[in-house]
Amino acid sequence: MADDEDDADKGTPGLLRDGRSVLVRRLDASDLDLIVDFSHRLSRRTVSMRMLGPVVTLDRAGLARFMDLEARDQVALVAIYENRAVGVGDFARIAGRDDRAEVTFTIADEFQSNGLGGLLLEHIAAAARDSGITVLEADILAENIAMIRTLESSGYLVEFGPPGSVIHADIAIHPRAQVVAGSDRREHLSTRSSMQRIFDSRTVAVVGAGLSTDNLGRAVVKNLVTHGFPGRVYAVNPNIPAVMGLPTHPTVGSIGEPIDLVVIAVAADLVPEIMRDCAAAAVAAVIVVSVGFGELGETGRAAERDMVRYARARGMRVIGPASMGILAQQGSRRLAATFSVSLPPPGVVAVASQSGTLGLAVLEHACRIGLGLSSFASLGRSVDVSPNDLLQWWEEDTATSVVLLDLERFGNARKFARLARRVSARKPIVTVTSAVQPSFGGAVDMRTIDRGAVTDTLFSQTGIVATRTLAEMFDVARLFEHQPVPRGERVGIVTNASQPGVLTAAASRAAGLRLAVVSEATLATLRELVPSGEANNPFDLTPRANADRYEAAVRALLEDDGVDSVIALFTPPLAQNPDAIATALVRAGSVAPHKTLVASFDGVEGVLSAPEVSGRSVPSYTFPETAASALGRATAYGLWRRQPAGVQQQPKGIDVPRVRAVVDRAGVGVAAEADVAELLDAVGLAVQPDHGVSGPEVTISIVSDSTFGPLIAFGVLGEPISLFGDVAFHITPVSDLDAARMVRSVRAFPLLEAFDVDGVVDAILRTAWMIEELPELTELRLSPVTVGTVGQGVVVREAHIVFSVAAEERRHREPRIQSP
């Protein structure tokens, strides 16, 4: 793909407001023809805005001088779309002012007012800071309202000079919360636009559709044309005249109309040619079903990188390779761009899967239990479209209420943790954690720590409901699909057999639920329904219970203020009518739509519904313990969602310039003892090996994990850690309440209770600040840390810090262009 496509070399993808993708990279002298072509496509008005006057032409010699860049003092960036330059931004250091540079932007006419100026400003600001520049200066024509608004909305501190025909602007480019928030917002809108172009496709072409019944392309065509897709479907195959009654086209370009989505199902070595064909036809997105890429080793991974760079430089998004396709459905509209035989009914659950084989099993199981899907995406190798992209799409998708993630990799870990917390506050996310285990390297001794428990805890901090198997994931999803999120942990149990009731009570306790204590009025009602006259939770109606008694008992519990949810069990005796009792349960649940009702009904694995009770249904599980387990997980999510989030802010007394100076001086590697002491002092954590404070000793560490990014680890030193692995971990950022909960979560907390717990919390918050503000910080270990009496604070006895080149995903969440 890259033989004659130099601009597909190293660069950073960026998304515009309309969902189109551009590739941003540095300019060099070899790009002269690219820039000459760019200048010739600019309108007179755009040129005059750029040159602050009535300049009409830009000659080749002048452009060559512009591109004669000095690496330290000048940087020019270009945005590429469909192999053409569509925007240029540059800065040049001002003579005698090492901390200032002049900045200019030029945006192609057809790309103006689409967010490209703001995107280039983010990149330019990041590159300028890397060169030691703190202020960018710009002179702007007063009539250039678009650029003035771009600066005003950038989030940077911008000071405009006095009004006139030309306005001077000073842009302070130190990272600020507004900048990060604005960047996140722009990225969110752009990502949603790019996802909408996939899931709302109106024209789909399938490349590689053949005649054989086991041909994957043919299966995709069949699903599209027979399952309610209202748009146009095209088959591409130069070797046969028709597929499934559709005339074939030799190439995508020969179709002769814009194509939103292309499904590629050909041999891996043919994919580059197909991608070039798609790019020439201005295709919005491609799904690569083909296998034979990264799973085969480094050569395949290099091919994947080429594929993505090529696609993003031409405005295309890529799902796959090794994808089994996507499914998007709402009402009667279905986009079934997949070769799966099983297509679940429409519903409110969205699913992302990375394994093709498991993806097929996921769809088949959803069909079997009646789980309705709003959309499904098989990401395969996830070389471009990632779980993070899908989360941002489903976050505001009105057809989606529940998100399921069957994933082994989560893409950008730092971004994933933040997105998950944001989305979980509105919609439950359920994932399988069996394939995800924390990997903390040598920073933490994991020999005594339960990795599975740590993983579940970290997921719970994002609000994600962590399950260990696909079956458990579907159990919880079914509850969220058909019932409200539980309001509390108090559960009432109704049964017609004592032993299942006892088992369910035990399973409920194990799942973190509490048996509800009901009011006297409710007890009086239930005593009349229980033949023995003794009403205890679980409430045993005995095998003689009929539909009326079931309905009355469940209704009474749901109407009781001391009950948050109800589990109804039914083991059918010979004399009873199961259908009538199922209807009774659904009817009873409708009287309290804000409370949660689940069932284990006659071994039914699915959903109970009743024609006379529209819009209400009750999830049913084969075994009572399964119902209790699903309810417990849903209840824990509800408690997390109602939990106060706390405040995230910079602790008082941190000397930020001094911190930055120490980090810059320390360089890469293990920090010297003097640098460690000065850094921690600037942060407000004193290192005093011989200080007279005495008390229990704790450890605070920063470790990195491939799924969640940087984590904070905390524990009480001694036997709690060495024997029992009593260590608490927390994702970042950390609020004041998060830090307090973290300290109190360790089993050894009673050893700290009489000492300065607030001092420990403060130390954790200062450590968390370093994670957020120092992307170079790879490893930190404060151990031992002595905790003084109340009011004395804490004293760091020993500290170890390692710095490295900052990873892309930790650099203030800003874009970075790779240096030449």
pLDDT tens track for 411-436: 777 788 888 999 999 999 999 876 56
Q: In angstroms, what CA-CA distances link 351 with 406, 499, 635, 729, 750?
A: 8, 37, 21, 28, 43
pLDDT in tens, 347-377: 999 999 987 667 888 899 999 998 999 999 9
**Which is nearest to 409 in space by CA: 428, 427, 383?**
383
Query: Residue 210: pLDDT band by 50, 70, 90 thresholds?
Result: very high
Mean pLDDT of 794-814: 77
Q: What percent of the chain has pLDDT over 90?
A: 58
| Terminal CA-CA length for the chain | 22
Location of structure tokens 């990375």:
354
- pLDDT at position 438 is 58
Between 430 and 131, name the one with better pLDDT.
Answer: 430
Q: How confident is the model at residue 10 (pLDDT cuts 50, 70, 90)?
A: low
CA atoms of 209 and 249, how far apart (whole Å): 10
Separation CA 29–CA 615 (nearest Å): 65
Buried b (16+ CB within 10 A) or exposed e, 294-333: beeeeebeebbebbbbbbbbbbbbbbbbbbbbbbbbbeee
Instruction: Give CATH 3.40.50.720 domain extents, the chain.
Output: 195-409
Which fold, 484-642? Rossmann fold (3.40.50)
Please say whether the beta carbons of 113 and 86 come within 8 A. Answer: no
- Residues in Cβ contact with 771 at an 8 Å cutoff, skipping those fewer than 6 apart: 702, 710, 712, 732, 733, 777
Q: pLDDT band at 812, cuts 50/70/90?
A: very low
Model pLDDT, residue 623: 94
Q: Does CATH number 3.30.2010.10 belong to domain 195-409?
A: no
Residues 728-746 have a mean pLDDT of 92
User: For the residues 765-787, what does the mean pLDDT come to?
Assistant: 92
Dihedral of the CA atoms 259, 262, 266, 267 (nearest 10)? 110
CB 654 within 8 A of CB 682: yes
CA distance 114 to 81: 13
Nearest by Cα to 634 from 423, 466, 459: 466
Residue 439 has a pLDDT of 58
Domain with CATH 3.40.50.261 in the chain: 484-642
Q: Answer yes or no: is pLDDT of 707 > 80.
A: no
Reported confidence tier of residue 322, pLDDT bands at 50, 70, 90: very high
Mean per-residue pLDDT over the chain, rounded: 88
444-472 in b/e form (b: 16+ CB < 10 A) is: bebeebeeeebbbbbbbbbbbbbbeebeb
Reported as a pLDDT band with limits 50, 70 and 90, residue 791 is very high
Distance, C-alpha 273 to centroid of its chain: 32
b or e along 82-113 (b: 16 or more beta carbons within 10 Å of the residue's beta carbon)?
ebbbbbbbbbbbbeeeeebbebbbbbbeebbe
Superfamily of domain 6-175: Gcn5-related N-acetyltransferase (GNAT) (3.40.630.30)
- Separation of alpha carbons 731 and 702, rounded Å: 10
750-768: per-residue pLDDT in tens?
A: 999 999 999 999 999 999 9
Can you read off the two tokens belonging to residue 388?
């993070």
Which stretch of 34-43, 439-448, 756-765 has the lowest confidence by average pLDDT?
Answer: 439-448
**Residue 336 tokens, joined:** 């079934």
The CATH architecture assigned to 656-810 reads 2-Layer Sandwich (3.30)
Between the CA atoms of 22, 27, 33 and 39, what dihedral angle is there, to the nearest 10 degrees? 70
pLDDT for residue 52 is more than 60: no
Residues 261-281, mean pLDDT to the nearest whole number: 96
Q: Is the pLDDT of residue 480 over 50?
A: yes
Enter the tokens of residue 413. 């870990």
Dist. CA 284–CA 316, nearest whole Å: 5
Arithmetic mean of pLDDT, 122-135: 86
Residue extent(s) of CATH 3.40.630.30 domains in the chain? 6-175
The vertex-813 CA angle with 812 and 817, nearest 5°, equals 95
Look up the pTM and report it.
0.82
**pLDDT at 818 > cutoff 50:** no
Amino acid at 376: F
Give the span between the Cα atoms of 86 and 112, in whole angstroms. Answer: 9
Is residue 229 over pLDDT 80?
yes
List where CATH 3.30.470.20 sits in the chain.
656-810
